[in-house]
Amino acid sequence: MDIERVYQEWLSSPRVSEGDKETLRQMDDFTKKDAFFKDAEFGTGGMRGILGPGTNRINIQNLGRVTVGFGQYLADLAPDAKQRGVVISHDNRFMSREFTLEFANILNQMGFNVYIFDALRPTPELSFAVRAKKAIGGIMVTASHNPANNNGYKVYDENGCQLVPADAAVLLGYISKLPDALHYEVPQDPNPGKTTVLSEEIDGPYIQAVESIQIRPELDKSDFSLVYSPQHGASYESAMRVFKDCGYHVIPVAEQCVHDPAFGATLSPNPEVEKAWILPLEYARKYHSDLVVMTDPDGDRCGLAYLGKDGEYHRLTGNQSGALLIDYVLAGRKEKGTLPANGVIYDTIVTSNLGSIVAKSYGVATESFLTGFKYIGDRIHYYEKQGHGPEFLFGYEESYGCLLAPFVRDKDGVQAILMYTEMTLYYKSLGMDLGQAWQRLQQKHGFHYATLRDVYFEGMEGNAKMKAMMEGLRENPLKEIDGVPVVEIRDYQKQIALKDGKEEKMDHLPKSNVLKYFLEDGSTICVRPSGTEPKVKFYLEAVGQSEDGLEEKTSRFNVAMRKLAGID
């Protein structure tokens, strides 16, 4: 891309506001290159990035163009697509409401009926609303847990599921045929659509559906309390209604319940990051609460910290909390006589394998997919469409995302915090904290330590380095990592497995730029470039007969992988 030429075109375009033109004038060389070296693209979770003018930025020009392409894609899916309409929701971020209204206007001009909410709503409720309104698709305006200067765009099919790659490729075909972000036009339908504002007609049924997933609603809650933070985001109202309806004494983190786009009362809106927990844990210590739960800004992910017997609060990772919840749900359903003979859980290729081991102990199968909850949602629909097949019991990712009941087809942080709360209460009634429950689970099924390490590659040069790193690992297959022999390599891009010097075809999953290493001692390492951020992720898991040395082993694996991948 001719960066200077395109930059000057944006600087002189009547479609770019004077405020954005001033931002362009103030750019230094690095920022200009980063804003214009490529076009913003769809990744594993849609589009996500820095707000501002430029081809590689999140702005009304780029997202408006995508919305036109999405409308054309939807219009060709069914003759009544425009009448069925599109549901749009958004989180608390800068420009989220403005984007929502502009996308509604674009789709109305194209003849689509549109449903928007009266204010922000979480991602799972958007998925629920698409299904409830029998809409042809949906749009969620969010950058999830990214920093405050980011925003993003996710699209949903008629099942309330994010588009899988085959469908996304068709959508991208429509978008690619449009002129660039400064020159596309909105097609004008002679019968413009209408925008309808949603509120309690969706809120009430969604909240009732969430409350219906409880396994032991009869548990005594009189000596139990929890702290909750929505991280300034969209789940606050829904979560508080659910907790109060279910009889829990919940203490909200007041400063983080304000829908502040600047995230002014948190150092990070990401539940996976330690500094996101500073204020919620202050609340927990003040009120001596049994549990702290947190949803991310768009409400699809949930983290938790529990009060241990030592009087301190301890966080669980998504792998730990997911495995614990699988055990709790399956044991509870077995006790209640509702555990089906053909049950299945879904996880991903980067998730710890402990959850699948737990499921197997209950006679429940596991299917693993590429990273991205859309694959789990799509698989639920696949069996639903067949009219037979295994019964969905649980789906989760290592990054704090899970789903317990499929009335939503994406991660649901509100479902998650309700069931984590019930699980904690249940173990308290047995005289145990979650740490003790976790130890008991590992003593039964083996000890696992799984962690994630990120390596960032900023700017135009970073993107090239990331690509070169993955090519280098493919051209020179690793034989050992930190002295531990590699016994198998799975290349999800080439769809092959290298084992015992032989190649085996592996085409049961879509192609993806991921490498997974299986080591002789049972450990695994997965390397995956992020689909939404300029970074490569190392998923590291060590297993053993005790916890001793497992964390240190993953640290050594991380150091070794960085060296083997040529990362300084």
| Domains of the chain as residue ranges with CATH | 39-198 (3.40.120.10), 207-212+222-445 (3.40.120.10), 447-564 (3.30.310.50)
312: tokens are 């301190």
Q: Is the pLDDT of residue 44 over 70?
A: no
Q: Is the pLDDT of residue 343 over 70?
A: yes
What's the pLDDT at 532? 61
Q: In sequence order, what DSSP letters do the residues of 185-248 get, joined into one string?
A: -----SS---EEEESHHHHHHHHHHHHTT-S-TTS--TT-EEEEE-TTSTTHHHHHHHHHHTT-
- Average pLDDT over every residue of 37-47: 81
Q: Please, which pLDDT band fits residue 63 given cuts at 50, 70 and 90?
A: very high
The residue written with tokens 């588009």 in the block is: 163
CA dist 491 and 469 (Å) reads: 14
What's the pLDDT at 136? 98
Per the CB < 8 A criterion, the answer to whether 445 and 543 are in contact is: no
On whether the pTM is more than 0.85, the answer is: yes
Per the CB < 8 A criterion, the answer to whether 518 and 504 are in contact is: no
Helix (H, G, I), strand (E, B) or coil at 177: coil
CA dist 365 and 90 (Å) reads: 35
Enzyme catalytic residues = 144
Distances in Å between the Cα of 96 and the Cα atoms of 48, 59, 66, 92, 297 are 12, 10, 16, 7, 12
Q: Please, which pLDDT band fits residue 328 given cuts at 50, 70 and 90?
A: very high
How many C-beta neighbours within 10 Å does residue 495 have? Answer: 16
- Average pLDDT over every residue of 54-60: 97
- Average pLDDT over every residue of 157-162: 98
CA dist 436 and 278 (Å) reads: 24
Nearest to 44 by CA among 449, 399, 346: 399
Which of 410-424, 448-462, 466-480, 549-563 is least confident? 448-462
How large a percentage of the chain has pLDDT more than 70?
Answer: 98
CA–chain centroid gap for 360, Å, is: 25
Which of 97-106, 130-139, 291-300, 492-501 is least confident? 492-501
Q: Please, which pLDDT band fits residue 43 given cuts at 50, 70 and 90?
A: low
The string of pLDDT tens digits covering residues 346-391 is: 999 999 999 999 999 999 999 999 998 999 999 999 999 998 889 9
CA dist 163 and 171 (Å) reads: 9
Per the CB < 8 A criterion, the answer to whether 494 and 525 are in contact is: no
What's the pLDDT at 501? 86
Per the CB < 8 A criterion, the answer to whether 445 and 358 are in contact is: yes
Backbone angles phi, psi at 406, to 5 degrees: -85, 25
The answer for residues whose C-beta is within 8 angstroms of residue 357's C-beta and 6 or more apart is: 445, 446
Backbone angles phi, psi at 217, to 5 degrees: -65, -15
Angle at 282 between CA 273 and CA 222, to 5 degrees: 110
- Average pLDDT over every residue of 335-344: 97
To the nearest 10 degrees (0 to 180), the angle between helices 200-211 and 236-245 is 50
508: tokens are 């049961």
CA–chain centroid gap for 66, Å, is: 21
The answer for residues whose C-beta is within 8 angstroms of residue 320's C-beta and 6 or more apart is: 438
242: tokens are 């659910």
CA dist 310 and 328 (Å) reads: 23
Q: What is the mean pLDDT of the chain?
A: 95
The string of pLDDT tens digits covering residues 225-269 is: 999 999 999 999 999 999 999 999 999 999 999 999 999 999 999
What's the pLDDT at 508? 87
Q: Is the pLDDT of residue 459 over 80?
A: no
CA dist 237 and 102 (Å) reads: 25
The string of pLDDT tens digits covering residues 164-180 is: 989 999 999 999 999 99
- Average pLDDT over every residue of 332-353: 97
Residues in the chain: 568
What's the pLDDT at 464? 85
Helix (H, G, I), strand (E, B) or coil at 99: helix
Helix (H, G, I), strand (E, B) or coil at 65: helix
What's the pLDDT at 35? 96
What's the pLDDT at 531? 66
How large a percentage of the chain has pLDDT more than 90?
Answer: 92
